[in-house]
């Protein structure tokens, strides 16, 4: 049984397909980074998954059932934190967490308390006096304390300062360690963070999934190399597998798509040319290739 299963999921606003035939299957224990520019459809996809929106066609199942028609016992294994999570402003974090503990059989009060500490949130201050970032951290702390099998986070790190972002990441890593088979889907632009956490990357563009692969496969397939020429190559010179290049005289920095090692061997065998591999971060890949395509 998959943790997340969307099949030909489509949502239209007017004549626009905001989520367009998305099929996405995630085995339990995966950590998926859902990337895409603003308006790509990430939030809509997560809202469809949570039954907050109805699809025009297709279906989506969480832990083997549609969320909207699942039993209470099933639902409490799923947690979701939206981008603009609304919390009861007159309550204190302590009261909120206490209230929520009644809804979750696996609620971990100790984890909830440590979450408040980790995020530096005063347990006794009315929530309405917290900043937007603090409220988001509280929403995440509450989601974690439910010890869900599937956690959907929509841009959890947006608007957080770097230290809070690191705390958030540590908290998520702790959850993955504490709940066996826990599956995490997070939409984010903070690619550097994803490299520490995600094992799969899905990219949305105008409602469609344009990439959906393991991080390992993505890092194997896309390579950044520096080409050093002895002299100016002829006008017909073609770099095999080239996606994007920055040329500076005899030094070319190239992003290549290499289905296998042969393509690099082919380059290395050319005379008058040195091939120097560069580190390729996800960030660079996103900006140079995916960013350009999206």
Interface residues with ligand ADP (CB under 6 A)?
A: 13, 18, 36, 38-44
Q: 22 or 151: whose CB is closer to ligand ADP? A: 22
Least Cα distance to 126 among 85, 94, 83 occurs for 94
Q: 30 or 187: whose CB is closer to ligand ADP? A: 187
Q: 39 or 240: whose CB is closer to ligand ADP? A: 39
d(CA 105, CA 146): 8
Q: 164 or 187: whose CB is closer to ligand ADP? A: 187
d(CA 45, CA 212): 15
CB of 30 to ligand ADP, least distance (A): 20
Q: 41 or 115: whose CB is closer to ligand ADP? A: 41
Q: How far is CA 128 from the centre of its chain?
A: 29
CB of 37 to ligand ADP, least distance (A): 7
DSSP conformational letter for 146: T
CB of 187 to ligand ADP, least distance (A): 6
Q: Are 152 and 146 in contact (CB under 8 A)?
A: no
Scanning the structure block, which residue is given the tokens 């350009």? 292
Tell the burial category of 85 from Cβ atoms under 10 Å away from its Cβ (0-12, 13-18, 19+): middle
DSSP codes, 217-271: HHHHHEEEEEEEESSPPPTT---TTEEEEEEETTEEEEEEE-SSTHHHHHHHTST
CB of 44 to ligand ADP, least distance (A): 3
Tokens standing for residue 211: 């990439």
CB of 136 to ligand ADP, least distance (A): 15
Tokens standing for residue 135: 């409220």
Q: 41 or 156: whose CB is closer to ligand ADP? A: 41
CB of 42 to ligand ADP, least distance (A): 4
Measured at the alpha carbon of residue 191, what is the angle toward residues 42 and 214, in degrees to the nearest 5? Answer: 75
Enumerate the H helices of 102-161 as residue ranges.
109-118, 132-145
Q: Are 112 and 97 in contact (CB under 8 A)?
A: yes
CB of 35 to ligand ADP, least distance (A): 9
CB of 36 to ligand ADP, least distance (A): 5
């Amino acid at each position: 049984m998959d943790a997340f299963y969307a099949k030909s999921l489509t949502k239209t606003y007017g004549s626009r397909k905001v989520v367009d035939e998305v099929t996405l299957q995630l085995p339990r224990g995966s950590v998926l980074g859902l990337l895409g520019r603003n308006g790509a459809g990430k939030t809509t996809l997560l809202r469809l998954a949570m039954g907050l929106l109805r699809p025009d066609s297709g279906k989506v199942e969480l832990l083997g059932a549609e969320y909207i028609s699942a039993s209470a016992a099933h639902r409490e294994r799923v947690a979701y934190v939206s981008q603009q999570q609304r919390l009861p402003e007159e309550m204190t974090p302590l009261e909120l967490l206490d209230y929520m503990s009644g809804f979750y059989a696996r609620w971990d009060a100790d984890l909830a308390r440590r979450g408040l500490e980790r995020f530096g949130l005063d347990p006794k201050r009315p929530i309405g006096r917290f900043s937007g970032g603090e409220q988001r951290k509280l929403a995440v702390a509450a989601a974690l304390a439910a010890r869900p099998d599937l956690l959907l986070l929509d841009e959890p790190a947006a608007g957080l300062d770097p230290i809070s972002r690191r705390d958030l990441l540590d908290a998520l890593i702790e959850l993955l360690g504490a709940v066996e088979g826990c599956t995490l889907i997070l939409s984010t632009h903070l690619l550097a963070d994803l490299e520490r956490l995600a094992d799969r990357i899905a990219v949305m563009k105008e409602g469609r999934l344009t990439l959906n692969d393991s991080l390992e496969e993505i890092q194997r397939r896309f390579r950044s190399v520096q080409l050093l020429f002895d002299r100016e190559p002829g006008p017909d010179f073609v770099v095999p597998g080239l996606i994007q290049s920055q040329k500076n005289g005899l030094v070319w920095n190239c992003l290549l798509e290499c289905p296998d090692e042969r393509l690099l061997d082919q380059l290395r065998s050319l005379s008058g040319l040195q091939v120097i591999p560069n580190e390729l971060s996800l960030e660079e890949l996103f900006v140079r290739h995916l960013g350009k395509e999206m």
